[in-house]
Chains A and B, each alone.
Chain A
Amino acid sequence: MLMRNSLIYLFCFLSFFVKAQSTYQYSVAQDSAYIRNNYVKSEFMVKMRDGVQLFTQVYAPKDKSKLHPIIMQRTPYSCNPYGTDKYKKRIGPNPFMIRENYIVVYQDVRGRWASEGKFIEMTPHLDKKLSEKDIDESTDTYDTIDWLTKNIPSNNGKVGQWGISYPGFFTSAGSVSQHPALKASSPQAPMADLWRDDAFHLGAFMLGANFGFYNFFQAQTQPTKNRPAPYFSFDSPDGYDFYLKMGPTRNAEDQYYKKRNEYFHENFDHPNFDEHWQKRNILPHLQNIKHAVLVVGGWYDEQDLYGTFKTYQAMEKQSPNNDIRFVVGPWVHGGWAGASGQSLADVEFGSKTSLYYQEKIESPFFNHYLIDESLPLSLAEATLFETGSNQWKSFDTYPAKNAQETVLYLQNGGKLGFTKPQNENGVTSYISDPSRPVPFSGKINDGFSAEYMVEDQRFAYQRPDVISFETDTLKDDLTMVGNILANLKVSTSGTDADWVVKVIDVYPNDTPNDPAHPDVVYGGYQQLIRSEIIRGKYRNDFTKPEAFVPGKPTEVKLELQDVLHTFKKGHKIMVQIQSSCFPWADRNPQKFINIFEAKESDYQKATQKVYHQKAYPSFITFGVLKN
C-alpha cells in the first residue's frame, strides 16, 4: 500500500549511494548532475476525458538526435519537487536506466496534490464505460498516454509505466487501459485489494500500518503543493506500549482521528468485505492484457504481499497468450529499489540481490520493450529468489508445475509430522489475554516494521500463550514453494477469536555465530518464514461474520502467502499458533461484536484449544519442489 510516505522511496534511492560497495558506478551527486545537464523538466496540466486536469511533470532528454521512449509513474504521493527549476536527484525505475535517455514522466493522480478532481481510495474499475463521465485509473492512464505521445516532442511512440505500492496499483489499473502505445508495465508490490492486504488481513485490522499513515494522507478539497499538517503528534518509538495504552480500537478515532480523515474512517464503517471494498478490488478486472508486464515483489513485503502474488496470478490467468512475467526477491516493501538487498536484519542472502535485479532484470526488460526489441532480454516466466539456499531460480510457470502437494499435521507432544493423528483426544490449549497480547516482534519498534518477517520467534515460543509444533530434524533439504493453506480445528471459550499461524525455519543447535551480527545467537534460531492472521468470525464468509459456539470444535481455514524457501537438512519446520499479534493487528475482544465499537469491558480472556486428533486434525498443506 501505503508507502508510508514518499520519503521512504526517496531513501531507497539515496541509500543506493551511501552503501557504495555496489556494482553501480555513479554516486547520487553524479547522477543528479547528469540529469540537470542532460534533461529539461516541464510541467503540464493534462486534461482527462471528463475535463479534470492532472498535474504532469516531464523530464525530457535534451538530446534530439533520436526518438525516446516514455516511462511514467502515476502516484498519490506527490511528484515533488514542484517547479521546473527543481529536479529530482534521480529519475526513472532505477539508476542503471538514467543514461538510457528515457522521457520520464511523473503525474499526481486524480484528486491528489497538484491535480484536480476528487480522490477516492483504490478507484473502482468500471468494466463498462458509457460516457466521458465514466472515469477510472485506466481511463486516466489512457488519456495521459494519449496526450503524451501526441504532445511530447521526439518520443518514439512507446510508453512504459512503473510504480511501487499505491503507484503499483495505478500501474495495474493502467495496464488494462488498452492504449496501443503502452508497451511495458511493471506493477511492483502493487496494492490490489485494500480489505485483504493493507487495511485488514482476513478481517483483522492492521492497526500499526494504518494508524500513523493517515495522519499525513488526508483528503483534499483542491489542488495543492503543500504537505498537510498532521492531526496529532505521533512519535512513538515503542508501538506496543503506545497502542496498548490506546485501549479499544475505537479510541484511534475517539481520541486521535476524531473522524477528521474519511479514508481512515472507512475502515470503521466497513469492517466486513462488503461492496465498498469489493468494488475497489482491481484483481477481477486485470484481463486481456496484451503488452509486456513484469510484476515485481518481495518475500518480506510487510504491506502488499497478497497484492504481489494475486496481481500476477490474476493477470496471468485472465490474459490469454500473454507476455506477463514475475520476479520475487528477498525484499521488504520496495526493497528491490534499494542499494544492496544483501541482508535483512539477522538474515543474509549472499549477494546484492537488489542491484542484480535492477541491472539484469528491470533495465533489460524496459529497454527491450521500450527502446529496441533487438536488445537482448532473457527472462523466464517467473524469476524467484529461493531463500534458505540463497539462489535465483527460473520457472516456466508459476505456480510451479513440479510442486508436490504435501501435508504436515499437528501431533501430540508438540510435534509436526506427515502422518494424520490417530489418537482420540489430542488437543493443546492456551489462554489468550487481550490485556497482554503476543507482540508481533520481540524488538522495540513503532509498531510497524518489515524486519519482523524474518525475526527469531523464540521470544514468542517461550510464551505460555503461543503453542508450537515442530518436525524432527530434516534428513534432507525440503523446498517449500507456493502458498500455504492452514486448516485448523479449534475451539474457544469466547464467541470470537483471532488465529495466527506462523511457519518457521528452526536452525540447527550448533549453527555457528556470525561476526557480522555480534548480538545474535544462531543456534536454535527460529526464523519466521511466513505468517497470517484470520479474524475467526470471517472463517466462512468475508462478507458476513459468524460467531463461534463456545467450546465447540470448529474448522478455520486460512491461506498464507507464497514462499520459495529451502528448509535445509538439519533444520526443522515449526508451526506456531497464537491469538494475537500486536500491534500489527488490533486485538480481538474475543466476544462476537463489531470490534470498532467494542468498549474496554468487552475485551475478555479466553481459553483457546487447537485440536490434533483423529476427529479434528489440524494441518498445513503446501507444495514441495521436486527436482
Chain B
Amino acid sequence: MKKLFLLLSLLVGMTKISAQSLSVAQQDSAFVRENYVKYQYQISMRDGVKLFTNVYVPKDASANNKYPIVMQRTCYDVAPYGKDDYPQMLYYSRHMMREKFIFVEQDVRGRWMSEGTWTNMTPHIANKKAKTDVDEASDTYDTIDWLVKNIPNNNGRVGQYGISYPGFYTIAGALCGHPALKASSPQAPVSDFFFDDFHHNGAFTIGYGLTFPVFGVQHPKPTTESWYDNLFPKRNTQDGFDWYRTQTPLKNLGANYKDNFFWQEHVDHPNYDEFWQKRSIIPHLKNIKNAPAIMVVGGWYDAEDLYGPLTIYKNVEKNNQNIYNTIVMGPFGHGDWARERGHHMHSNVYFGDSVATFFQRNIELKFFKHFLKGAGDGKSDLPEAYLFDTGKKQWQEFKEWPAKTAQKVNFYLSNSGKLTDKITSDGYSEFVSDPNKPVPYTEDNKQLFGFTPRAYMSEDQRFAGRRTDVLTFETDILTEDVTLGGEILAKLKVATTGTDADWFVKLVDVYPGDEQNTPFTPKHITLAGYQQMVRSEIMRSRFRNSFSKPEPLVPNQITDVTFRLQDVLHTFKKGHKIMIQVQSTVFPLFDINPQKFVDNIYKADASDFIKATHKVYNSSAIEVEILK
C-alpha cells in the first residue's frame, strides 16, 4: 500500500511527502527512487564471460555535474534484479547514499546472474599471459574500464568497497592496476581461508558447518533464484551443541555434503598445501601498480574475519612504497559498522552510543569523498590507524600500527594460577582433555542456532574457568590502567600424553567484584566479576613448525608451540585483572582434535579420538605489547 502511494506521488509529482510522517527506512527508500535511475548491463570480461551489473545513476548527473563510481562486487546476489525494482538503500550507509555516487553492484563470476565458473577465493594470477588468465583483479579491471567508458557523466574516478567476501573482492580488485581506481575499502575482508573463516591455524571452524551449500555448489545457469536453499543439513534438534556433537567425527558432517565441491576441497586438502596457498591474496599485496588509496576496515570482535583486515593492512604497508594505506578497527562484530543500533553492544558489553554512525559519517564518508570527489592528494584528515580502545571505550588515532612506542612484555603462566613477569619454576599446570566432553565456546544456547559464530568474542568466560579442563592464570588487581595495544604472541611450552593437541588461548578482562550493570546490560547478566573475552586463538600442534607439513607430537616431550593471536587495543582498567585461560577444545567453534595424530582429521574415525593429559609449563609466556 505504501509502495503504491509513493509511486503515485512520484508519477503525479504533486503530493509532497512530509519527511516527518515516514519511518527512516521509508525515507531511504523514497530517496533512492526520487534520486536515482537504474540501468542493467551484462559486461563482457576479456575472456568473453559476461558479468551481470546493476548501475544506479543519480538523476541529476550531467556534463556539468559528474559523479564518481562506487562499486561492490559480490558473490551474494545484487537483488533486486528487476529493471524497475529499486533497493531500499544504496550502499549500507545512508551517509554515503545521500552524498550521492554512481552506485554499481556486480555478481562475480559464476554467481547468480553472471556467467562463468565459480571458485572460492579465486587464485590471483601475478603474471597473466593470455586472455584466459582471469582472476578477480582482471574482472575488476575489465569492469572498471567498461564503466568509465560507458556510463555517462562519470567523473573518471572509481571506488570499491565490500564487507566479508565482497571485502576479498575489494582487495583483490585493488591489484587490478587500473588508473581510474582511486579508493578501495576492503571491510572485514576474507584473505586466506586457512587462517580465517573456515580454518584458524589449520583447525577447522566447525561453527561454519551449515554454510557449505552457499559456497560449494555451481549455479546451474545465470539465475535470480537460489540454487542451494534446499541443500542445508536438516537439524532435527534445537540444541545446537548436541547437533554438532552428532557431526563429529567430521565424516558425519561430510555426509551432508556428498556433492559439495567446497567440502571435498576441505577433505582433500587438510594441510596448507599449494591448493590453499594460491588462494591467499596476502603474498600478492606487494608493489601494487597504480595502487588506489586503501582503507581497511574491521571489527575487533569479528568472529569471521579478524585475521584478514589486520594481515592485509600490515602486508600492504610493509610491501608498498608511497601508498596511502590505512586501517580502522572498531568495537564491532562482523559487519556491524553497517548497522546503527543506537546503544552499541557486542554480546553483553556496552561500548557507547552511535558508534557505527561515527564510523560511517566521520571516517568512511570522509575517505571516499576525499579520493573520489575531493583533492585526492592523501591529505584526507584521517589518521594512519583509527582504532577503538575497547577498554576505555573510545577512539584513538595512531601514526603507525603496531605502535613503535609499544613495549613488549611477557606474562608467564605459573602453576600458582598467576601471571608472572618471570619464570617461577620448571613446574606445570595439567588438565585432562576429553573429546567426549569438549569445552563449550559459549554458554548461550541461542548462539549455537546461528549460521556462524558471532557473540562469543566478548562473552563472560566464568563458565569456562570453572571447569577442570580449563587453566586460568591472572594478575593481581591492577593498581593502574594497563593498555595492551598491538600484537600478541603465545609461546607455549607444552607436553601431552597424546600425539596431537589443540591449544586455545584466551586473553580475558576480569571486572571488579563491585562492577555495576549498565542500563543496557541484559537482565540475566551480572557484570560484577565478569570475565570478558578480549582476544582468543587456536593452534593445532601438528602445524607448529609448518602449516604445509604437519608433524605429530612426541608423547610427554616438552614442545614449543608458538602462534599469534590477533591484535588488540584494550585498556585493562585499574581495579581489573588480566587473565589468560588455556584449554584444548572449544566446541562447536572449532572441530575436535582426536589427540591421536592421524594423517587427515577429516577422515578420522570415532575410535581415533582419545582422552589425553596435557601439561602447560611455567615457562610458557604470552607476549603482549603495552602502550604507555
Chain A residues at the B interface, C-beta cutoff of 8 Å: 235-238, 240-242, 431, 433, 436-437, 439, 442-445, 458-459, 462-465, 509-513, 519-524
**What chain A residues lie within 8 Å of B242 (beta carbons)?**
509, 524
Contact B443 A237 (CB under 8 A): no
Is B547 in the interface zone, CB < 8 Å from A?
no
Contact B437 A509 (CB under 8 A): no
Within 8 Å by CB of A462, from B241, B449, B514, B524, lies B241
**What chain B residues lie within 8 Å of A240 (beta carbons)?**
462, 466
Within 8 Å by CB of B529, from A238, A431, A520, lies A238
**What chain B residues lie within 8 Å of A509 (beta carbons)?**
236-239, 242
Contact A444 B444 (CB under 8 A): no
Within 8 Å by CB of B445, from A439, A443, A458, lies A458
Contact B526 A464 (CB under 8 A): no
Mark B452-489 against chain A: 1 for CB-CB distance below 8 A, else 0. Answer: 00000000101100111100000000000000000000
A-B contacts besides A463-B437, A524-B238, 8 pairs, CB < 8 Å: A238-B529, A436-B467, A436-B468, A439-B466, A464-B469, A510-B238, A520-B445, A521-B445
**Mind listing 18 A-B residue pairs with CB under 8 Å?**
A235-B514, A237-B528, A237-B529, A238-B526, A240-B462, A241-B513, A241-B529, A439-B466, A445-B526, A458-B445, A459-B463, A462-B241, A464-B437, A509-B239, A510-B238, A511-B238, A520-B445, A523-B239
Contact B239 A462 (CB under 8 A): no
**What chain B residues lie within 8 Å of A513 (beta carbons)?**
238
A331 to nearest B CB, angstroms? 21
Q: What's the dominant secondary structure at chain A's contact region?
A: loop
Contact B524 A431 (CB under 8 A): no
Within 8 Å by CB of A463, from B238, B460, B468, B528, lies B468
Is B628 in the interface zone, CB < 8 Å from A?
no
Complex Cα–Cα for A513 and B526 (A): 24
Q: What's the dominant secondary structure at chain B's contact region?
A: loop
B145 to nearest A CB, angstroms? 51
Contact A444 B238 (CB under 8 A): no
Complex Cα–Cα for A505 and B241 (A): 18
**What chain B residues lie within 8 Å of A237 (beta carbons)?**
513, 526, 528-529
Contact A462 B437 (CB under 8 A): yes
Complex Cα–Cα for A445 and B525 (A): 10
A186 to nearest B CB, angstroms? 35
Complex Cα–Cα for A214 and B524 (A): 28
**What chain A residues lie within 8 Å of B238 (beta carbons)?**
509-513, 521-524
Is B446 in the interface zone, CB < 8 Å from A?
yes
**What chain B residues lie within 8 Å of A459 (beta carbons)?**
443, 463
Contact B237 A433 (CB under 8 A): no
**What chain A residues lie within 8 Å of B304 (beta carbons)?**
none
Mark B500-533 against chain A: 1 for CB-CB distance below 8 A, else 0. Answer: 0000000000000110000000101110110000
Closest A residue to B245 using CB positions:
A462
Contact B466 A436 (CB under 8 A): yes
**What chain B residues lie within 8 Å of A445 (beta carbons)?**
526
Closest B residue to A524 using CB positions:
B239
Contact A519 B524 (CB under 8 A): yes
**What chain B residues lie within 8 Å of A512 (beta carbons)?**
238
**What chain A residues lie within 8 Å of B529 (beta carbons)?**
237-238, 241, 444
B189 to nearest A CB, angstroms? 33
Known interface pairs A439-B466, A442-B463; A238-B528 also in contact (CB < 8 Å): yes
Complex Cα–Cα for A462 and B462 (A): 15
Closest A residue to B417 using CB positions:
A435
Closest A residue to B516 using CB positions:
A237
Contact B468 A465 (CB under 8 A): yes
Contact B432 A444 (CB under 8 A): no
Is B440 in the interface zone, CB < 8 Å from A?
yes
Is B123 in the interface zone, CB < 8 Å from A?
no
Complex Cα–Cα for A511 and B449 (A): 14
Contact B513 A462 (CB under 8 A): no
Known interface pairs A463-B468, A464-B468; A444-B462 also in contact (CB < 8 Å): yes
Contact A464 B434 (CB under 8 A): yes
**What chain B residues lie within 8 Å of A437 (beta carbons)?**
466
Complex Cα–Cα for A522 and B460 (A): 22
Is B575 in the interface zone, CB < 8 Å from A?
no
Contact A510 B237 (CB under 8 A): yes
A-contacting residues, B231-267, CB 8 Å = 236-242
Contact B445 A464 (CB under 8 A): no
Complex Cα–Cα for A520 and B238 (A): 11
Known interface pairs A431-B468, A464-B432; A519-B444 also in contact (CB < 8 Å): yes
Complex Cα–Cα for A158 and B445 (A): 56
Closest B residue to A467 using CB positions:
B437
Contact B432 A431 (CB under 8 A): yes
